[in-house]
Amino acid sequence: MQMLVFQIARQQAKSLLETAWDGEFPVKLGGISQTLDAEVLHDHLPPELSGFIVKREGEDTVHIMLNSTESTERQRFTWAHELGHLIERATLAGDDDYSFVETRMPERYDLHEFFADEFAGTLLMPAPKIRELQARGITAAGMAAFFGVSLKAMRKRLDRLKKQPDAD
């Protein structure tokens, strides 16, 4: 059976959590990035830019830049989103030379961006924990605080899981 893009993205994020995550919430991205040879910098970027990722041919290290003027929650999601691009390029596309730029204009929303968003949602907000929090009656705002994401990202993740529930 052929897997759909969202299923592959979720599966990749889960396997990364299994191998590189210490099990603590909010999910810390620093250690995970190290295992992927990703160097992450936070710096002032233009307001329309959330961040970007650059991988040059033949170089082991991938460079991720995040806009330090944005909230910690937004930076965390962009960070996880960039790791999604990294995984997609490395495992699915076998691409050694690439770059993605995140702007606030969603005019260029394609399957790569969808993969990266779905990956980031799964990495930062694992479904089993969401179900546990929901069972305890925790609101979306409470969950957002727990996972260290924006309320918008939390709502989008809940919406995605409602539309396409996780098998496990």
> Which residues are at the interface with Zn ion (CB under 5 A)?
100, 102, 113, 116
Q: Give me the half-sphere count of Cα atoms (radius 13 Å) on the Cβ side of residue 36.
A: 32
Q: How far is the CB of 131 from Zn ion (least distance, A)?
A: 27
State which residue, 14 or 89, has the beta carbon closest to Zn ion. 89
Written as six digits, the tokens of 151 are 């309320």
Q: Give me the half-sphere count of Cα atoms (radius 13 Å) on the Cβ side of residue 107.
A: 3
> Residues 138, 113: contact at Cβ < 8 Å?
no
Task: Find, among 56, 23, 11, 24, the residue nearest to 37 by Cα.
Answer: 56
Q: How far is the CB of 106 from Zn ion (least distance, A)?
A: 10
Q: How far is the CB of 132 from Zn ion (least distance, A)?
A: 29
State which residue, 6 or 100, has the beta carbon closest to Zn ion. 100
Q: How far is the CB of 82 from Zn ion (least distance, A)?
A: 7
State which residue, 10 or 133, has the beta carbon closest to Zn ion. 10
Q: How far is the CB of 137 from Zn ion (least distance, A)?
A: 34
SS (H, E, C) 110-168: CHHHHHHHHHHHHHHCCHHHHHHHHHCCCCHHHHHHHHCCCHHHHHHHHHHHHHCCCCC
What 8-state DSSP symbol labels residue 8? H
State which residue, 53 or 144, has the beta carbon closest to Zn ion. 53
State which residue, 116 or 133, has the beta carbon closest to Zn ion. 116
